[in-house]
Amino acid sequence: MAAAAAALLSAWFWNERFWLPHNVTWADLAAAPGPEGGGGGARYPQAGHVLSAFPLALGIFAVRLLFERFIAKPCAIKLGVQDRGPHRAQPNAILEKVFTSITKCPDGRRLEGLSKQLDWDVRKIQRWFRHRRNQDKPTILTKFCESMWRFTFYLSIFSYGLKFIWSSPWFWDTRQCWYNYPFQPLTSSLFCYYIMELAFYWSLMFSQFTDIKRKDFLIMFVHHLATIGLITFSYMNNMLRVGTLVLCLHDASDFLLEAAKLANYAKYQRLCDATFILFGVVFIVTRLGIYPFWILNTTLFESWELIGPYPSWWLFNGLLVTLQVLHIIWSCLIIRIAYKALLRGKVSKDDRSDVESSSEEDDMTSNSTKGIFSTSSNGANRINGHVASAQWAEEE
């Protein structure tokens, strides 16, 4: 009974009339292309191929740990990035019990009660809770190492992807993405590029539970899951050619954001501001210019002309159009961030996760400065999904 139900579910999920163009079957894509229909050529993408991303994702995660320890950390120390955490809270058994058992952010009524119980000023108790929340946060050094790893990977995968598609005919003529679709052979370079991207996002899924905890944890989790789904979907559907264009286009700005964060952590403020402005320009040009007029043009109009619509075509384009809506939202946020930064004279802090203000002056100024980079966009800003979040922290 269970086997029959599983077979029925599998048949429903892999329905050829949903996934593939008319008159194409999965059996057609299982055969190797060759002269006169014979074998001997490169094979088409198969669903089982995506499983190779799992061991590769674990390998990427292991490389990351080694990179952060033996490369990123020495670089950070050489740049003067301090390995010190936030100010620790004064030991107090009563407040610690409230913090761990009741609430980490007591309301005014509870603060008044604790003030009477401890004979402390309410402001002092607020400061204690702020320090207590901050003391478990990662150090600037930890955040520098994380950003340096992301910068290195993003720059590497973008360079590889650009080199690959530069020599591909569909980069110069996007109609090549649909000629003879879906009977387009899978080359080793194309396989490596796609599976590497997929593996990286699986590694982000794993590492999200050990990375710096941010307020947009759930958003990022859903984003990584959606990104993995999109990459997997386009692979199994053999939309690899247009997929490589989408991946490379979205990779173009991510390493710039991480570079700006690195400059910020190392306290090179002018470099930070300049790099962030460059990131904003590249982001807006690629997401509001190239993406709709190049990518969406070929997926919506050229593909309609050459292969015609079918059910999964609508799904794929619906997701890409949704992505464009997110691009518009994020671009507006980046413009707003840049405008406020220019008024203030420098880039502000990442409100998602990092250290809360601990000085008394910050209590009076936080409303005017906090949250300029709180867009929670590290997630869905790209189909291959790392973040182009416009946020980072300038720690206290």
- pLDDT tens-digit series, residues 201-249: 999 888 888 776 666 677 778 778 878 988 998 998 899 999 999 999 9
Residues 6+ apart with CB under 8 A from 245: 165, 170, 171, 174, 177, 294, 295, 298
Quickly state the pLDDT bin for 385 (edges 50, 70, 90). very low
Q: How confident is the model over 58-85, as a mean pLDDT?
A: 92
145 vs 141: CA distance, rounded Å:
6
* Model confidence, pTM: 0.79
Quickly state the pLDDT bin for 159 (edges 50, 70, 90). very high
Residues 6+ apart with CB under 8 A from 380: 219, 222, 223, 226, 227, 323, 326
Output the average pLDDT for the chain. 82
Question: What pLDDT does residue 349 have?
Answer: 53
What's the gap between Cα 366 and its chain centre?
A: 28
Mean pLDDT is lowest, of 4-13, 157-166, 258-267, 371-380, for 371-380
Question: What pLDDT does residue 209 have?
Answer: 80
The pLDDT > 70 percentage for the chain reads 82
Q: How confident is the model over 123-127, as a mean pLDDT?
A: 89
Highest mean pLDDT among 100-109, 273-282, 366-375: 273-282
352 vs 344: CA distance, rounded Å:
20
Quickly state the pLDDT bin for 376 (edges 50, 70, 90). very low
Higher-confidence position of 367 and 29: 29
3-state class (DSSP) for residue 140? helix
State the sign of the Cα–Cα–Cα–Cα dihedral 200, 329, 337, 135.
negative
Question: What pLDDT does residue 195 have?
Answer: 95
Question: What pLDDT does residue 252 have?
Answer: 95
119 vs 125: CA distance, rounded Å:
10
Cross-strand partners of 373: 350
Question: What pLDDT does residue 139 have?
Answer: 85
89 vs 317: CA distance, rounded Å:
52
First vs last C-alpha separation in the chain: 62
